[in-house]
């Protein structure tokens, strides 16, 4: 009888442990999804602000259509990468967008009336704020991905992760030139 009780206790303890591990894996997977969702919200907000910035610039920059088109193409590229969920594609598209915005801000230097306009300044500040928030959220996302990936690779969680089909998440990597801030002061100085 005692052996049956010990066996029953050990079975319940093992089941509880396995359930705890499984639920922990579910939580870290959900944290990755939440962190990505937070980035996605900011990318959509920035996506919505860029046409407004381009429209304000068009009023002043009649001869700079190429610069404005580059920003809009880059915007479309980020949107496509965001929709695909490919972190490597998103990193490349983000680099193109940052480059386009730097070029736009540099060209804006030629147009004092544009730089002085309240809509331009407001949109520039809004987009810069979104850029900062996106960078912060990338860090949170990568931390969540790292936690997820360590959990699904660590023993004994790896056994449950494989049985429960918990795939590794993809870090949001950026090349060295993408990690540096856009130097707006240099873009605006002659």
Q: Which two tokens stand for residue 16?
A: 């509880």
Contact (CB, 8 A) for 28 and 144: yes
In the chain, the domains with their CATH numbers are 2-188 (1.20.1440.20)
Neighbouring CB atoms inside 10 A of 21's CB total 17
Residues 6+ apart with CB under 8 A from 111: 60, 61
Per-residue pLDDT of the chain (190 residues; tens, 9 = 90+): 888 889 999 999 999 999 999 999 999 999 999 999 999 999 999 999 999 888 888 877 776 788 888 889 999 999 998 888 888 888 888 888 988 888 888 888 888 888 888 888 899 899 989 989 998 999 999 999 999 999 999 998 999 999 888 999 988 876 554 444 444 444 444 3
User: pTM surpassing 0.75?
Assistant: no
Token pair 């910035």 is found at: 53
């Amino acid at each position: 009888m005692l052996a049956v009780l010990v066996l029953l206790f050990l079975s319940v303890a093992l089941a509880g442990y396995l359930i705890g591990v499984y639920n922990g894996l579910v939580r870290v997977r959900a944290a990755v999804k939440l962190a990505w969702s937070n980035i996605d919200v900011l990318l959509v907000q920035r996506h919505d602000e860029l046409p407004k910035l381009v429209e304000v610039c068009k009023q002043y920059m009649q001869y700079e259509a190429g610069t404005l088109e580059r920003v809009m193409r880059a915007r479309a590229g980020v949107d496509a990468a965001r929709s695909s969920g490919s972190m490597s594609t998103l990193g490349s598209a983000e680099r193109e967008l940052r480059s386009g915005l730097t070029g736009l801000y540099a060209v804006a230097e030629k147009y004092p009336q544009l730089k002085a306009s309240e809509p331009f300044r407001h949109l520039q500040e809004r987009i810069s704020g979104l850029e900062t928030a996106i960078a912060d959220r990338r860090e949170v996302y990568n931390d969540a991905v790292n936690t997820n990936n360590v959990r699904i690779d660590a023993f004994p969680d790896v056994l449950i992760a494989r049985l429960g089909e918990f795939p590794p998440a993809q870090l949001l990597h950026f090349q060295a030139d993408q990690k540096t801030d856009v130097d707006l002061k240099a873009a605006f100085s002659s």
